């Protein structure tokens, strides 16, 4: 068989696409490195040249999906008419919508700053949603906390400069407190880590009562986090909206559809 | 040989003590589970009954050291004369002193909220300091980020209720913003995760120039974090002191002594 020489980045991207298809279809835990190698038609050596492990593969996939998510909200990020607070809230709202389309999406440091991807049609949205759940649902299992952190770090590396740019605009406009934008972006993203336990509980809730309690607790926590972000940025309470009332329940309902 | 039946908690504690001695002496990475088993004189089965892996052992050790650290600052936590802000700042200052004695101590979510242990005499302080460096220094290596997160979570589980109690007092006194104390404690501890990269850089700095730059960057970041905590708690800027000027350099100097 003639060997087809491909650009390394193209090869890596194809491996990720194969992994994504398998993870979305069968789930992360039911996919082996061999499955990915077979589907991609590459050697074991070639695979390990790009990814040291299956965990590294999911990490890279989370990063790619986060990048795609950011590209999908480029209009909000680039619109010259938006002031910093409107841009930040629009950015958060757009990610919430993406999240509804692809719930539970990959874990971000918080529900609302996490990456996500959208879909063109309702049917494919439902398919993607199911796929995301299968691929990333496992990450919120207690035994996968390590993987959660790896994915988190990958998503954060994508989100930090995006968030820092919005914060820098707010500082320039004199609306946000004058603080180092990158440091503040990192703080806000790390802050979101404090929602992990509440998100995990919401994802693992089984009965209606458990779901109601988990949704209330998460929504309350998101409200507190919004208030904390208001304070860090120097805004009036209620300026940053991390969730509309009912949002958490809607995401949880979308997830089980 | 007659089998000595010990209380499970006592057995677990002895295993931890053996592990601590070995980790402090040879370093975490140069100690095997077999070394610990041999030193403790227990069977492999007994060991794995208590700890599923060497990582779990270091995690449990970090938690125990954090508990010991909290016990050592019990006077500050219990003193009825202290208002909440004084208690919080005294608590942070005491942990900084413990940290100086046992630098680099285990990683906490931040330099100043992490656990630590003290020592009775200067000689044993130096010995402990060296031991801590050997045992926990590896945790800040980039390849051990996973272990860092495990240890962090263990330390956080100890620190959250302690911090929440101080915050609850501040809310009661009407000095801190009225917010759920546990949620705020978790936020503050997670927030500190945003110092990890700067702490790691400081720990890995080799040349004097690198050390100076890393110390300045970390000190500046701790100042920003202090200001963020002031805002979250609703305090005047400068109320929370996470580091005195020169503190970072002093810890770094202590670490290499």
- B12 inside domain: no
Q: Which band of pLDDT confidence, cut at 50, 70 and 90, is reported for residue B201?
A: confident
Contact at CB, B232 and A234, closer than 8 angstroms = no
- Taking the C-alpha atoms of residue B62 and residue B51, their distance in angstroms, rounded to an integer, is 14
Q: What is the CATH number of the domain that holds B116?
A: 1.10.357
pLDDT in tens, A104-159: 334 432 333 333 333 345 556 666 666 666 666 667 776 666 677 778 888 889 99
A54-63, B90-99, B172-181, B215-224, range with the lowest pLDDT: B90-99
Contact between A221 and B183 using a beta-carbon 8 Å cutoff: yes
In sequence order, which ranges of B173-235 are alpha helices (DSSP H)?
Answer: 181-191, 196-204, 208-233
Is the predicted pLDDT of residue A70 greater than 70, yes or no?
yes
- Give me the residue label for tokens 């290499």: B256
Residues in Cβ contact with B205 at an 8 Å cutoff, skipping those fewer than 6 apart: B211, B213, B214, B215, B252
Residue that wins the pLDDT comparison between A147 and B45: B45
Nearest to B107 by CA among B142, B137, B71: B137
Peptide linkage before B104 cis (omega within 30 of 0): yes
Contact A157, A149 (CB under 8 A): no
Q: How many CB atoms lie within 10 A of CB B213?
A: 14
d(CA B188, CA A191): 7
**Confidence class for position A257, pLDDT limits 50, 70, 90:** low
Q: If pLDDT is split at 50, 70 and 90, which confidence band does B88 have?
A: very high
Q: Which residue of B has its CA nearest to A191?
A: B191
Look over chain B and give the mean of its residue pLDDT values, rounded to a whole number. Answer: 82
Instruction: Inform me whether the pLDDT recorded for B177 exceeds 70.
Output: yes
- Asked if A239 and A230 touch (Cβ cutoff 8 Å), the reply is yes
Average pLDDT, chain A: 82
**Residue A6 domain-assigned (yes or no):** no
- Measure the CA–CA gap between B156 and B109, rounded to whole angstroms: 7
Q: Does B227 reside within a domain?
A: yes
Does the pLDDT at position A229 exceed 80?
Answer: yes
- Cβ contacts of B124-133, under 8 Å, gap ≥ 24: B125/B101, B126/B257, B128/B24, B128/B101, B128/B102, B129/B101, B129/B102, B129/B103, B129/B254, B129/B255, B129/B257, B130/B24, B131/B23, B131/B24, B131/B25, B132/B24, B132/B102, B132/B103, B132/B104, B132/B105, B132/B106, B133/B103, B133/B104, B133/B255
Give start and end residues of each alpha helix (H) in chain B. 8-26, 33-40, 44-50, 54-72, 74-78, 84-102, 122-136, 145-172, 181-191, 196-204, 208-233, 247-255
A interface test, pick of B194, B199, B234, B242 with most A CB neighbours within 10 Å:
B194
Instruction: Give domain status of residue A32, yes or no.
Output: no
Nearest to B162, CA basis, from B99, B45, B72, B232: B72
pLDDT band, residue B126 (cuts 50/70/90): low
What pLDDT is stored for residue A115 in this prediction? 35
Residue pairs spanning A and B at CB distance below 8 A: 67
Asked if B234 lies within 8 A of A231 by C-beta distance, the reply is yes
Instruction: Pick from A52, A171, A182, A187 the residue to mutate for testing the B interface (most B CBs within 10 Å).
Output: A187
- Report whether pLDDT(B120) > 60: no
Which one has a higher pLDDT value, B147 or A104? B147
Task: Answer with the residue of higher pLDDT: B100 or B81.
Answer: B81
Domain span at residue A132 reads 62-253
Angle formed by the axes of helices B122-136 and B84-102, to 10°?
A: 80
Q: Write out the residues of chain A at the interface with chain B, using a CB-CB cutoff of 8 A.
A: 145-146, 149-150, 153, 177, 179-180, 183-184, 186-187, 189-194, 220-221, 224-225, 227-228, 231-232, 234
Highest mean pLDDT among A24-33, B74-83, B190-199: B74-83
Residue A28 in any domain: the answer is: no
pLDDT in tens, B58-67: 889 889 988 9
DSSP element (H, E) containing A220: helix A208-233
Residue B14 has pLDDT above 60, yes or no: yes
- The 8-class DSSP code of residue A176 comes to S
Dmax (CA) for chain A in angstroms is: 66
φ/ψ of residue B26, rounded to 5: -105, -15
A180, A220, A228: residue with CB nearest B187: A228
Q: Is the pLDDT of residue B89 over 70?
A: yes
Looking at per-residue pLDDT, the higher value among A210 and B244 belongs to A210
Q: Sign of the C-alpha dihedral, residues B234, B235, B238, B244?
A: negative
Residue B121 lies in a domain: yes
B6 part of a folded domain: no
Inform me whether the pLDDT recorded for B118 exceeds 60.
Answer: no
Q: Tell me, yes or no, whether B101 lies in a domain.
A: yes
Higher pLDDT: A210 or A120? It is A210
**Structural domains counted in chain B:** 1
Would the pTM of this model clear 0.90, i.e. be above it? no
More confident residue, B125 or B120: B125
Buried b (16+ CB within 10 A) or exposed e, A11-44: bbebbbebbbebbbeebbeebeeebbbebbebee
pLDDT band at A99 (very low <50, low <70, confident <90, very high): low
CB contact under 8 A, A228 and B190: no
Q: Give which of B199, B244, B252 is closest to B223, Cα–Cα.
A: B244
* pLDDT confidence of residue A121: 53
Contacts of A149 in chain B (CB under 8 A): 145-146, 149
pLDDT tens figures, B23-38: 878 888 889 999 999 9
Residues in B whose CB is inside 8 Å of some CB of A read: 145-146, 149-150, 153, 177, 179-180, 183-184, 186-187, 189-194, 220-221, 224-225, 227-228, 231-232, 234
CA distance B61 to B64: 5
């Amino acid at each position: 068989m003639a060997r087809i020489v491909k650009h390394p980045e193209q090869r890596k991207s194809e491996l990720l696409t194969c992994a994504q298809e398998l993870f979305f279809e069968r789930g992360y835990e039911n996919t082996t490195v061999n499955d990915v190698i077979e589907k991609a038609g590459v050697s074991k050596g070639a695979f390990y040249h790009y990814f040291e492990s299956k965990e590294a593969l999911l990490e890279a996939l989370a990063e790619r999906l986060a990048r795609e998510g950011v590209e999908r909200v480029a209009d909000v990020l680039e619109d010259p008419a938006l002031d910093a607070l409107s841009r930040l809230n629009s950015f958060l709202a757009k990610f919430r919508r993406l999240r509804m389309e692809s719930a539970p999406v990959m874990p971000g440091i918080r529900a609302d700053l996490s990456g996500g991807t959208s879909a063109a049609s309702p049917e494919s949205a439902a398919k993607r949603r199911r796929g995301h759940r299968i691929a990333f649902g496992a990450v919120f299992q207690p035994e996968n906390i390590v993987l959660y952190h790896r994915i988190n770090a990958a998503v954060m590396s994508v989100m930090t400069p995006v968030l820092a740019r919005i914060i820098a605009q707010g500082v320039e406009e004199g609306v946000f407190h004058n603080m180092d934008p990158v440091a503040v972006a990192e703080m806000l993203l790390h802050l979101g880590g404090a929602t992990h336990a509440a998100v995990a509980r919401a994802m693992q809730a089984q009965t209606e009562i458990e779901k109601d309690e988990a949704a209330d607790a998460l929504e309350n926590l998101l409200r507190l986090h919004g208030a904390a972000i208001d304070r860090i940025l120097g805004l009036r309470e209620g300026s940053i909206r991390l969730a509309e009332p009912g949002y958490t329940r809607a995401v949880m309902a979308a997830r089980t559809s």
